Amino acid sequence: MSISTPSATVTNYDKLYIGGEWRSPSGSARITVISPNTGELIGEVPDGAEGDIDAAVGAARRAFDDPRGWSGIAPAERAGHLERFATEIEKRKDEFAERVSSQNGMPIGVANQLEAVYPSTLLRYYAGLIGEQKEEVRDGMFGGKVEVQRSPIGVVGAIVPWNFPQTLASFKYAPALAAGCTLVIKPSPETVLDAFLLAEAADAAGIPPGVINIVPGGREIGAHLVSHPNVDKIGFTGSTAAGKSIAETCGRLLRPVTLELGGKSATIVLDDAELDLAAIGNDLFVATLANNGQTCFLGTRVLAPKSRYAEVVDVLTAFAGSMTIGNSLAADTQIGPMATERQRDRVEGYIAKGRSDGGRVTTGGGRPSDQDRGWFVQPTVFADVDNTATISREEIFGPVLSVISYDGDDEAIAIANDSDFGLGGTVWSADPERALGVARRVQTGTIGLGRYIPDPAAPFGGVKHSGMGRELGPEGLAAYQNLKSIYR
Ligand code: NAD
């Protein structure tokens, strides 16, 4: 339900989607959603409590345990449900993009290209994959036949961050649903309004009651979900700190968990790279600044060859300085606000730290003078920093790039690998074979020869402190399946 006020539209929900119906929440607390563009109230929803998580897990458990229900029906039938769900999401794609952009500051152009389309694409991808999965019988080496059965892992707790709330939720629910699992999705409090739209789409698609349940709330109910005795698997995307805490709980409970965490990836510019902004500007944007720098796999450490260091700094300075900063809902905006005031303060804290550590700001470094409200930070480039600086080691999650000098490809690779993280990265060279050779030596979960976005068919995830396990691709489906060997 939406109420128009003189300055903004406030979207309100009073009920939670649990067990296939809209139910009153167990408590009276509310989550208020504040526009990062204006600081105004734009939404209010129930703040889920432990009782709501218990009800949602109970509904998911009953739906899963019904032998004629979701987990027991033929994969082709589930695939049909996934296709219908994709269609209902597509029908709402503009609304999804608008809600996400208005809550987290994602430029609407980015939201239209990703948040509005990735989830339905992924549902259709996994509908295809589960439809194709056949009974597998192997010849045993000791004779006889062994059937390898893939069964759904059970009730899934899916915990999602605010930066790509719909896409990252779909990284979990699309393969989990395809596998035959049921879910409780816990969106981040910053991005709850789009989650209600997802519930509406699931309802309209006729997803059976209890298969998808959505309870918005903070970390306390997230932790309650993680440790709930009736949950069989956790899929988490978020910060490394929260991921470690969740991993500890799951370790204690021997509960399978997939963790997609933070990053501090390298954009490796080789000495033969094309540096004409007219040719590479769009790709550079996707690799370094997309979604206001609030994207986990961005290459925010730019590694520049000593011989062309000044040139790389000049190009990045011109590139970052040319960005159109503005209200995330404006069509021409390239850089919107940080998602929250706290996130803006955090990014500014890192900029101050970069300066006090001796970094040279070549563009940005402050708030844009033409934005008198909202949580805006200028895209900022630091030169004369090395890989030991705090801003080169910690994830900032904002539009801040460090340009680090190296001498020779081996040193570039050594610097790229000298990080606690290993999630993304790109290599820039006029010679694709050379770039490939470098990419193969970088310790990371994904890397592109120039720009890329995670492809539904390719495994996505990190090494080191960037996570455990993989989403997307057949590997993402396997993460929601148990294997059983039946000796025939
Ligand atoms: P966050 O870890 O604070 O919160 C993420 C989600 O986890 C939220 O829903 C939050 O309520 C919940 N949560 C937090 N602590 C919890 C706990 N102890 N137990 C259970 N649930 C808990 O992260 P954020 O600030 O929302 O998101 C930004 C972070 O996410 C960045 O570090 C970013 O790199 C990371 N991220 C990673 C990927 C990836 O695929 N690797 C993708 C996007 C974002």
Using the mean position of ligand 1's atoms as its centre, give its distance from the Cα of residue 243 in Å: 7
Write down the pLDDT at residue 6.
43
Dump strand ranges (E) for 187-311. Answer: 212-214, 233-237, 257-260, 266-269, 301-305
3-class secondary structure, 42:
strand
Question: What are the extents of the domains in the chain?
Answer: 11-261+465-487, 266-455
Query: Of all protein residues, whose CA lies closest to atom 12 belonging to ligand 1?
Result: 219
Percent of the chain with pLDDT over 90: 98
Dihedral sign computed on CA atoms, order 356, 359, 363, 364: negative
Which CATH superfamily is 11-261+465-487 part of? Aldehyde Dehydrogenase; Chain A, domain 1 (3.40.605.10)
Average pLDDT of the segment spanning 18-34 = 98
| The pLDDT of residue 222 is above 50 | yes
CA distance 257 to 248: 10
DSSP H helical ranges for 17-137: 50-65, 75-91, 93-104, 108-113, 118-132
Q: Is the CB of 245 under 6 A from ligand 1?
A: yes
Q: Is 488 exposed, middle or buried (0-12, 13-18, 19+ CB in 10 A)?
A: exposed
Nearest CA owner, ligand 1 atom 23? 238
C-alpha to C-alpha distances, 278 to 78, 281, 325, 384, nearest whole angstrom: 47, 6, 19, 25
- For the question of residue 181 being annotated catalytic, the response is no
**Model confidence pLDDT, tens digit, residues 89-142:** 999 999 999 999 999 999 999 999 999 999 999 999 999 999 999 889 999 999
pLDDT band for position 4 (50/70/90)?
very low
- C-alpha–C-alpha distance, residues 5 and 125, integer Å: 41
Centre of ligand 1 to C-alpha 94, Å, is 25
260 catalytically annotated:
yes
Assign 215 to helix, strand or coil. Answer: coil
What the block records as the tokens of 31 is 């989550």
Alpha helices in 232-357, H assignment, sequence order: 240-253, 277-288, 309-321, 341-356
- Segment 394-435, tens digit of pLDDT: 999 999 999 999 999 999 999 999 999 999 999 999 999 999
The pTM score is: 0.97
CATH class given for the domain over 266-455? alpha beta
Task: Return the pLDDT at 333.
Answer: 98
What is the edge-to-edge ordering of all strands in the sheet holding 2-4? Answer: 2-4, 9-12, 41-46, 30-34
Q: What is the dihedral of CA 150, 156, 160, 166, to 10 degrees?
A: 60
Quote the mean pLDDT of the chain: 97
Please check whether the two domains, 11-261+465-487 and 266-455, share a CATH topology. Answer: no
Record the tokens describing residue 129, joined without a space. Answer: 């994959």
Q: Is 258 helix (H, G, I), strand (E, B) or coil?
A: strand
Place of tokens 């000049």: 314
**Residue 287: CB partners within 8 Å, gap ≥ 6?**
267, 298, 299, 426, 448, 450, 451, 452
Q: Is the CB of 219 inside a 6 Å radius of any atom of ligand 1?
A: yes
- pLDDT band at 9, cuts 50/70/90? confident
